[in-house]
A and B are shown apart, each in its own frame.
Chain A
Amino acid sequence: MTKISELNSESGILVRSAVAGDLPRIIDLDKQISGLDKPDYWQESFRRFGGAQDGRYFLVAEKDGQIAGFIVGEIRAWEFGSPPGGWVFSLTVDPDTRLGGVATDMFNTICNCFRKAGVDKVHTMTDRDNITVMAFFRSQGMMAGRSIPLEMDLSDEEAPS
């Protein structure tokens, strides 16, 4: 178990492991972006991924003493048949600090964590209408993976016969 704390001296952005005291700001930021207030979800997410547990990373970025964003990920093995790899499943940046390198610093830090843990591939998934986030991941070098997400409505009318 290692607490993460990486300061980018150029951007002045500190990426560190989240602590319980960060949760109100994380909940606020998510509400600002998604329009949904989900305190229970983030408390559970912090319980599962916070606290510098091996293979699980809940990181925040601080700029000028304020939390400017957060990223959550973990190492998953053999999910959908894939060898162990890092998964990023949440990335949020304060809109007021966008284009300031916050997301890049958080992404680089979590990728370094994955590398140190011995995996050589990072995965994520975004809504195809979320062009901002997809463009960010693309700018970091991410390409379409081999998996294609599939889904189905589970209402009675849609039940397979």
Chain B
Amino acid sequence: MKLQRSSRLALYSVLELAARPDEQLSASEIAAKFDVSLNHLAKVLRDLGRARMVEAVRGAGGGYRFCGNARRTTLKDVVEIFEPITLHDAQGYEPGDKTEFGASLAVVLGEIDDIALATLDSITLETMLKLTDRMQRQGPSSPKK
């Protein structure tokens, strides 16, 4: 499964902020860590702000902080701000959809969507932080493909 760049950046941002709840991080700090453009990140942070997941703290030492509940906020909550998660429906009408093979292919693709949705909906930010911590303790390994 491949997420859009904005979704990935949003996930990185909320995870970084949720991992450091007592700090405010500037957009440039986050952009530097994840090697992304400040402009793109600013737009993502603005969308996250509108969704009340992060808030900007003004003034000296200001920046962004996570203002949601890490035990309650799931990956799905973050991703669906930026893209539809049900991949098959998101494609709209495709040639062949109304044929007998189109109907059976829709069942199989729906099965994949359901599993992806259940996975994203059952993993909270806190669970992701625990997973990250566990993987760091285990040492470097190449990501699964």
Contacts and interface: CB of A to CB of B under 8 A. Distances in A.
A135 B118 contact: no
Contacts of B122: 131, 134-135, 138
B134 A138 contact: no
A34 interface: no
Interface stretch (B10-18, B43-51, B78-86, B123-131): B123-131
A134 B118 contact: yes
Contacts of B97: none
Interface string B129-144: 0110010000000000
Given A135-B123, A135-B124, A141-B131, 6 more contacts: A131-B118, A131-B122, A134-B118, A135-B127, A138-B123, A139-B126
Interface residues of B, number: 14
A128 B130 contact: no
Contacts of B119: 144
Contacts of A134: 118, 122
Contacts of A135: 74, 121-124, 127
Contact of A139 (B115, B121, B124, B134): B124
Q: Which of A131, A134, A135, A141 has the most CB atoms of chain B within a 10 A radius of its CB?
A: A135
**In terms of DSSP, what is the predominant structure of the interface of chain A?**
helix
Interface string A140-161: 0100100000000000000000
Interface of A: 128-129, 131, 134-135, 138-139, 141, 144
B89 interface: no
B141 to A, nearest CB: 14
Interface of B: 74, 114-115, 118-119, 121-124, 126-127, 130-131, 134
B131 A128 contact: no
A100 B43 CA distance: 38
A141 B123 contact: no
Nearest to A143: B131
Contacts of A129: 118
Q: Which of B115, B118, B119 has the most CB atoms of chain A within a 10 A radius of its CB?
A: B118
B130 A141 contact: yes
5 smallest CB-CB distances across A and B, nearest first, come from A128-B118, A134-B122, A135-B122, A139-B127, A138-B127
B114 A128 contact: yes
A134 B124 CA distance: 11
Contacts of B118: 128-129, 131, 134
